[in-house]
Structure 1
Amino acid sequence: MSQQTDTRRIALVTGANRGLGRSTALKLAADGVDSIITYRSHEDEAKAVVAEIEALGGTAYALRLDTGRIEDFPAFTDEVRRVLKEGWNRDTFDHLVNNAGHSGNASIESTTVEEFDDLVAVHFRGVFFLTQALLPLIADGGRVVNVSTGLTRFTSPGKAVYGAVKGAIEVFTRYLAVELGPRGITVNTVAPGPVATDFSGGLVRDTPQVQEVLGGLTALGRVGQPDDIGDAVSLVVAPEAGWINGQRIEASGGIHL
């Protein structure tokens, strides 16, 4: 399908009711990009993000989605088609940001099969098959951004499975970039370092000692804020970034250099 350049761009951002996804959707709105955001729980937060986007002059919809439940993807795709037609009179959107996820914290020795399968289901299988389901709805010339982690380059105790599944996403990104190249769609990874969000129970956000230690490992001397990552994603999907493709872009303030 051809990209419809006579309208505002539209992004679909998963897990955007809080944290990095919320910041991404709001940064895109400030750049004139409308959004379909998803949430697994906390519908009130998602509605608040929609209201913030509307206050910035944009259009937004919030749809419930559990990225670990691939059996729900056909119905979700139908919902996306519905709101595209209702909100924009379109049958495509421009940017897919695969952000939704959660952390895991267990040593290799203590990781259970259930913990392993849960991280794979959300961070790899879910991203793969959700992207597959939505490919017909992404406009030619669009963008796909997969959110990874700095933990694919360096290690931290208890993050073996989480880092490994994000590593799989980085490989998937390169393969997807090749397959979508004929459609003019770029695919990149944004890999955050430590960010002050509620991720991992808000450990970085709520613990000054952790911020001091991790910030001291970065060249810029601080941990990241959600807007740092929202800014990075907005740069990658910008029209001027069309020659950046198949890349892992680490947004970490230069940690462990």
Structure 2
Amino acid sequence: MSIALVTGASRGLGKSIALHLADAGNDVIITYNSKQAEAAEVVAKVTAAGRKAVALRLDAGDHKGFPAFADRVKTALAQTWQRNDFDFLVNNAGVGVNAPFAETTEEQFDLLMNIHFKGVFFLTQRLLPLIKDGGRIVNISSGLARFSLPGYSAYGAMKGGIETLTRYLALELGPRGIAVNAVAPGAIETDFGGGAVRDNAEINRFIASQTALGRVGLPDDIGGAVAALLSDGCRWINGQRVEVSGGIHL
């Protein structure tokens, strides 16, 4: 039995990832920032599927709070699983900012940096002692690190940094047998970034027209892919960027 920790899993991609991992036979620790009720619903669904789950609050941009969060993870592992480690870390928590380069503020830049890059860097560092040797890490990147769309210069740059960090982590954690990969979703129908992809029919049609498989992505497309990447059959994949986009902008 494996335990996966998925950040930002009260909704959207993180929720789908947690549920797919549970369906594949894993127990889960999920994090939420403000949506405690939604996190509890995810825990209830995992429990109903016959797996164990715990929800812990985490502000992925509050780096000073990471030591206390790691302590809460350690306590949850001991109380719920009688273990002192977990197997999989999925760095998924995030927010969206859409602003032209010339109008992007320092506050917007810092928000994205603190959550999407600095947060991933130092949360992973803090949790390393709790990750089992032979475990795995998945960092959620974005198709916007490969192709460019107006308004996402800061967000795409952060995700480009995450992909570089992924390769360094794969190299440096190799002696512990920990594989590290990045999954890069394309445009997905969620409430991310105000829900534009889901709710704006014109944007949805445009993205579908640019995608080889002819539609916009759904959360389960990503949840299933992450669960597959963390399956035993993918253990030898390491240091890679795996785009899960239906073939957008090929």
Q: What is the TM-score with the length of structure 2 in the denominator?
A: 0.99
Alignment match of 1:202 (pick from 195, 199, 217): 195
| d(CA) in 1 for partners of 2:75, 2:196 | 39
- TM superposition shift of 1:42: 1.1
Structure 1 unaligned blocks of 5 or more: 1-7
Amino acid paired to 1:115: Q
- TM superposition shift of 1:208: 2.1
Alignment match of 1:234 (pick from 215, 222, 227): 227
- TM superposition shift of 1:81: 0.3
1:138 aligns with 2:139: no
Q: Which residue of 2 aligns with 1:163?
A: 156
Kindly report structure 1 stretches of 4+ aligned residues shifted beyond 4 Å: none
- TM superposition shift of 1:209: 2.1
What per-residue deviation string (whole Å, max 9, x for no partner) do you get for residues 125-161 of structure 1? 0000000000000001111000000000101111000
1:99 aligns with 2:92: yes
- TM superposition shift of 1:252: 0.2
Equivalent residues, number: 250
1:149 aligns with 2:142: yes
| d(CA) in 2 for partners of 1:233, 1:201 | 24
Q: Which residue of 2 aligns with 1:3?
A: none
Q: Which residue of 1 aligns with 2:6?
A: 13
Of 233-242 and 42-51, deviating more is 233-242
Q: Which residue of 2 aligns with 1:192?
A: 185
Written as runs of structure 1 = structure 2, the 5 A alignment for 1:1-257 is: 8-257=1-250
Structure 2 unaligned blocks of 5 or more: none
| d(CA) in 1 for partners of 2:51, 2:199 | 32
Q: What SS is found at the alignment partner of 1:109? A: helix
| d(CA) in 2 for partners of 1:142, 1:215 | 36
Q: What SS is found at the alignment partner of 1:176? A: helix
- TM superposition shift of 1:191: 0.1
Amino acid paired to 1:100: A
CA RMSD of aligned residues (A): 0.6
| d(CA) in 2 for partners of 1:216, 1:10 | 39
| d(CA) in 2 for partners of 1:15, 1:149 | 16
| d(CA) in 1 for partners of 2:117, 2:202 | 32
| d(CA) in 1 for partners of 2:209, 2:99 | 25
Identity %: 60
